[in-house]
Amino acid sequence: MAFDAEATKRCSLMTPDAMAEADRRTIAAGTPETTLIDRAARASLRVLRSEFTRRPVTILCGPGNNGADGLRLGEMLVDAGWPIEVICLGEPPSAERHRGLDGRLRPTGTFAPGPGALVVDALFGAGLSRPVEGEARALIEKLEFAGASVLSIDLPSGIDGATGEVLGIAPQADVTVTFHRLKPGHLLGEGARRCGKVFCADIGLQYREGDASALHNAPELWRHLLANGARETHKYERGHTVVVGGPGFMGSASRLSAYGASVSGAGAVTYLAPLSSAEFAGTVFDAVMVRPMTGPEALEELAEGKASSIVIGPGMGHGALSRDCLHTALASGLPCVVDADALTLYEDEPSKLFSALHEGCVLTPHEGEFARLFKGVEGDKLSRAKAAAARCGATVLLKGSTTVIAGDGLPVINTNGSRSLATAGSGDVLAGLIGGILAQSVAPREAAAAGAWIHAEAARSAGPSLNADRLPRRIAGVIDRLVS
Ligand SMILES: NC(=O)C1=CN([C@@H]2O[C@H](COP(=O)(O)OP(=O)(O)OC[C@H]3O[C@@H](n4cnc5c(N)ncnc54)[C@H](OP(=O)(O)O)[C@@H]3O)[C@@H](O)[C@H]2O)[C@@H](O)CC1
Ligand SMILES: Nc1ncnc2c1ncn2[C@@H]1O[C@H](COP(=O)(O)OP(=O)(O)O)[C@@H](O)[C@H]1O
Ligand SMILES: [K+]
């Protein structure tokens, strides 16, 4: 079961190159470039007026169409009676590009933004092709301590729209106005931090299949996949997740996973408890079934019977039983969430793990686990997640303040996380939640996307006191609201 097709178009993220191509297509189909610039400037004006009160505005314009947007916006602000000045990089723009700006052009050396001023950053956007240096760099440096507000057109100049990385330098914007679709760089790394509040305006470009390079995660993509069974189904038909428990005191992480699975909408959760923790597990769980486990046969029996997904790794430890269980879980062919200790068991020989994985598996590493398992995979977060998924042949969910999911189909970027999620055990809950969604016959990338968003949403309204114990109850609330 896949993402909603119409939502996929709306949630598409486009690289600067794909954007330039869409631009060319639209122009070739009869819309003049000046019309696109006019629409981009008008959209920027709308946002500027909604976000800022009237004040002195300095517009920094680069040599390309990002600068052209800035010049056109300047003309519109003059018409609206705003006090503005315009500073252009390099050669002065041709007269036709700044007809309405007579007497407003200033040399770069005069740029001295004061607190309370608004600076429009129209130096570089999608056409950024190398690190920002020289005069452009000096302008952006002046912004750093000026205390002025910054509105960036398309991207904060210096942010790579494909990756979110800073090429040389980039300003901290308060507001960014972009066009048609967001770019990955608006959501990743420094890009996510530097854009401020992001607005995306329709300027009449056409969307075409194949334009997208990634998706921005949102419930409209996967909401229809949740609680998809008929009302009168049997509990096991709603999905049955098996959580492989951990021994002794370490078992708490796996119990959090079981709680995560138990609020996922799956019909049943079984917790397989090693003997050292079975009695205790039996006393803490009510809705989760507990089965003692002496060896991997217990997992094998469930996998061949009623189980429809497995969660393995949290609190499991690195002993012989863990290895046997991991082998059994992966060999079963059932959808599997592979987390925590299951990711690090084979960190010295990852190929052994990779060769046992299959396309129904979801790996959920944080950055530390990722670095140990996918040695040599470097670059921006989107590229790393994609490379890792290709290397291991499964879906990879790379955690963090922004979470990236790569697997079959377009990768997905999840951005609704908040710092309150950075609490011990929250990742264990996530693993269980995804396992529970997988158990309901949702495909791995889709289940991971749904799990990441729901998990983050559950924490969003919580304060710093949120702990992993209280997360499942909040997750239940989010899911119930989504499917009601
Ligand atoms: N596509 C759309 O949907 C629409 C796009 N629109 C707008 O157009 C923008 C894209 O315009 P664009 O392609 O002209 O690129 P832009 O960002 O102005 O930069 C290119 C110029 O900068 C230069 N340059 C680059 N890096 C540099 C550096 N580090 N240091 C110094 N110079 C550097 C580069 O020089 P070159 O690499 O050629 O030597 C070239 O001259 C887009 O962001 C949006 O605002 C809307 O108007 C309409 C619809
Ligand atoms: N700064 C942050 N902002 C948003 N989400 C975060 C942040 N830091 C961590 N998270 C999320 O919190 C969870 C932590 O998982 P993990 O690192 O596995 O912790 P644990 O092992 O303690 O459960 C992940 O879902 C991750 O995406
Ligand atoms: K810009």
Question: DSSP states of 278-341 as a string?
Answer: HHHHHHH-SSSEEEEESSTHHHHHHHHTT--EEEE-TT--SSHHHHHHHHHHHHT-S-EEE-TH
CA-wise closest residue to 257 among 268, 249, 248, 245: 245
Say whether 112 sits in a helix, a strand or coil. Answer: coil
User: Other C-beta atoms within 10 Å of 8: how many?
Assistant: 17
Q: Is the CB of 419 under 6 A from ligand 2?
A: yes
Rg (CA), the chain: 26
Distance of CA 282 to the CA centre of its chain: 37
One domain for residues 235 and 176: no
Q: Which residues contact 56 (CB under 8 A, 6 or more apart)?
A: 83, 84, 85, 116, 117, 118
Taking CB atoms and a 6 Å cutoff, what residues make up the pocket around ligand 1? 19-20, 22-23, 36-37, 40, 62-69, 124-132, 136, 153-154, 179-180, 203, 205
229 labeled binding residue? no
Name the residue of 259, 341, 362, 399 to mutate for ligand 2: max ligand atoms within 8 A of Cβ: 399
**How many angstroms does the Cα of residue 336 sit away from the middle of ligand 3?**
43
Distance between CA 362 and CA 447 in Å, rounded?
Answer: 9
Residue whose CA lies nearest to ligand 2 atom number 6: 401
Nearest ligand to the C-alpha atom of residue 43: 1
Which ligand 2 atom is the nearest neighbour of the CA of 426? 23
Residue where one domain finishes, among candidates 198, 213, 228: 213
How many whole angstroms separate alpha carbon 320 and alpha carbon 78? 74
81 with 59, same domain?
yes
Question: In Å, how far are 118, 326, 327 from 346, measured between CA atoms?
Answer: 54, 11, 11
The answer to whether 4 is a known ligand-binding residue is no
Distances (CA, A) of 442 to 73, 207, 218, 238, 360: 47, 27, 16, 11, 10
Number of H helices, E strands in the chain: 18, 18
Of 363, 315, 311, residue with least CA distance to 332: 311
Separation of alpha carbons 408 and 413, rounded Å? 14
The three-point CA angle 333-286-427 to 5° equals: 55
| Distance of alpha carbon 349 from the chain centroid | 29
254 CA from centroid of ligand 2 (Å):
16
Report the pLDDT value the prediction gives residue 315, as an integer from 0 to 100: 95
pLDDT tens sequence for the chain (484 residues): 799 999 999 999 999 999 999 999 999 999 999 999 999 999 999 999 999 999 999 999 999 999 999 999 999 999 999 999 999 998 877 777 777 888 999 999 999 998 999 999 999 999 999 999 999 999 999 998 888 999 999 999 999 999 999 999 999 999 999 999 999 999 999 999 999 999 999 999 988 989 999 999 999 999 999 976 555 567 777 899 999 999 887 789 999 999 999 999 999 999 999 998 888 888 888 889 999 998 999 999 999 998 999 999 999 999 999 999 999 999 999 999 999 999 999 999 999 999 999 999 999 999 999 999 999 999 999 999 999 999 999 999 999 999 999 999 999 999 999 999 999 999 999 999 999 999 999 999 999 999 999 999 999 988 889 999 999 999 999 999 999 8
In DSSP terms, 240 is beta-bridged to: 268
Residues 104 and 190 in one domain: yes
Domain encompassing residue 411: 219-483
CATH of residue 232: 3.40.1190.20
Q: Helix, strand, coil % (nearest 5) of the chain? A: 45, 15, 40
State residue 231's pLDDT score: 58
Instruction: Let me know whether 185 and 262 are in one domain.
Output: no
* Residue 273: count of CB within 10 angstroms of its CB: 27
Facing residues of 337 across strands? 311, 362
Dihedral of CA atoms 154, 157, 163, 167 in degrees, nearest 10, equals: 170
Let me know whether 122 and 261 are in one domain: no
pLDDT confidence of residue 229:
58
Ligand 2 pocket check for 400: Cβ under 6 Å: yes
Ligand 2 contact, 360 CB (< 6 A): no
- Please indicate, yes or no, whether residues 244 and 373 belong to a single structural domain of this protein: yes
CA distance 385 to 213: 13
Q: Choose the final residue of a domain: 213, 239, 260.
A: 213
Q: Is the CB of 471 under 6 A from ligand 2?
A: no
Number of the ligand 1 atom closest to the C-alpha atom of 130: 29
Handedness of CA 368, 372, 373, 376 (dihedral sign): positive
Residue nearest to atom 39 of ligand 1 (CA): 129
Residues 143 and 274 in one domain: no
Residue 185, pLDDT score: 98
Which residues have CB atoms below 5 A from the ion given as ligand 3? Answer: 121, 125, 152-153, 157
Q: Give the integer Cα–Cα distance in Å for 36 and 372.
A: 47
284 and 420, same structural domain? yes
* Among the listed residues 397, 409, 401, 402, the one whose alpha carbon sits nearest the alpha carbon of residue 370: 397
Closest ligand to C-alpha of residue 337 is 2
Closest ligand 2 atom, CA of 425? 23
Q: Is the CB of 252 under 6 A from ligand 2?
A: no
For residues 70 and 189, state if they share a domain. yes
Q: Is 408 within 8 Å of 359 (Cβ atoms)?
A: yes
Q: Which of 124, 137, 166, 179 has most ligand 1 atoms within 8 Å of its beta carbon, as the pocket-test mutant?
A: 124
Which residue lies with its CA nearest to atom 30 of ligand 1? 132
User: Coil, strand, or helix at residue 88?
Assistant: strand
Residues 6 or more apart whose Cβ sits within 8 Å of residue 368: none
Task: Consult the annotation and say whether 186 binds a ligand.
Answer: no
400 labelled binding-site residue: yes
128 is in an annotated binding site: yes
Does the C-beta of 462 come closer than 6 Å to ligand 2?
A: no
Quote the pLDDT of residue 236: 72
**Residue 300 shares a structural domain with residue 412:** yes
Say if residue 121 carries a ligand binding annotation: yes
- Ligand 3 centre to CA of 152 (Å) is 5
Task: Pick the atom of ligand 1 nearest to 69's CA.
Answer: 47
Q: How many domains does the chain have?
A: 2
CB contact set of 283 (below 8 Å; sequence gap of 6+): none
Find the length of the chain.
484
- The residue out of 186, 213, 240 marking a domain boundary is 213
The reply to whether 125 and 14 lie within a common domain is yes
- Check if the beta carbon of residue 58 is closer than 8 Å to that of residue 117: yes
- Verify that 129 and 272 share a domain, yes or no: no
Is the shortest distance between the CB of 352 and ligand 2 below 6 Å? no
CA of residue 237 to ligand 2 center, whole Å:
31
Which ligand neighbours the alpha carbon of 471 most closely?
2
Alpha helices in 364-443 (DSSP H): 367-373, 381-392, 426-438
CATH code at position 47: 3.40.50.10260
Provide the residue type at 423 as one letter: T
Nearest to 413 by CA among 198, 188, 194, 221: 188
| Contact between residue 213 and residue 18 where contact means Cβ atoms under 8 Å apart | yes
